[in-house]
Amino acid sequence: MNDLKIKTAFGSIFFISLGAIVWWQSLNLSVMGAVFPRVVSITMMLTSVLIILRMLLSKAPLWSEATREKPKNIWRGILLVMTIGIWLMLFRPLGMILSSILAFAVLMLIAEQDELRPLRTTLILIGGAIGIFAVTLAMTEVLMIPVPKGILS
């Protein structure tokens, strides 16, 4: 087992443990208050298990050589943190949906390391917007969590 697989396994075990701790902590919450932490903990644990299974069952490398050889860019990390900060500041005035879609688009452009292809970029943006709408709908209609509507109200 190479060094990357060992790090991946430890990371996955860490997130499985963290998910179990979050679940255990949610036992002290009300029924409705426990829904969000339990959903997050289950998602975190299942994703970690899937990563471990993929690592053990697949012969393919975890990362391609092309990805591994790219130089690290400190400015990309700084821009990501700045974008998240600006998103948080615009969350209330613009509302959850609009600010999240804008932040998603900017984060995608910053994080994208390959050449931007119009069709791929459009599909990613549409998928992200659908995901944001779905999360917002779940939060407001299922979990009854009020979210800022901003200029869309």
**Separation of alpha carbons 111 and 69, rounded Å:** 16
Cα 73 to the center of its chain, rounded Å:
21
SS3 state of residue 117: coil
Give me the phi and psi of 103, to 5 degrees please: -65, -40
As a whole-number percent, the residues of the chain with pLDDT over 70 amount to: 90
As given in the structure block, the two tokens for residue 98 are: 């609009």
Lowest mean pLDDT among 1-10, 13-22, 44-53, 126-135: 1-10
- Delimit the domains of the chain by residue range: 3-68, 71-152
State pLDDT tens for residues 58-116. Answer: 776 665 555 555 556 788 888 989 999 999 999 889 999 999 999 999 998 888 776 77
Cα 50 to the center of its chain, rounded Å:
16
Q: Please check the confidence at residue 9 and state whether its pLDDT lies above 90.
A: no
For residues 122-126, give the mean pLDDT.
91
Report pTM: 0.59
Give me the phi and psi of 149, to 5 degrees please: -95, -20
CB 94 within 8 A of CB 151: yes
Confidence band, pLDDT 50/70/90 cuts, at residue 36: confident
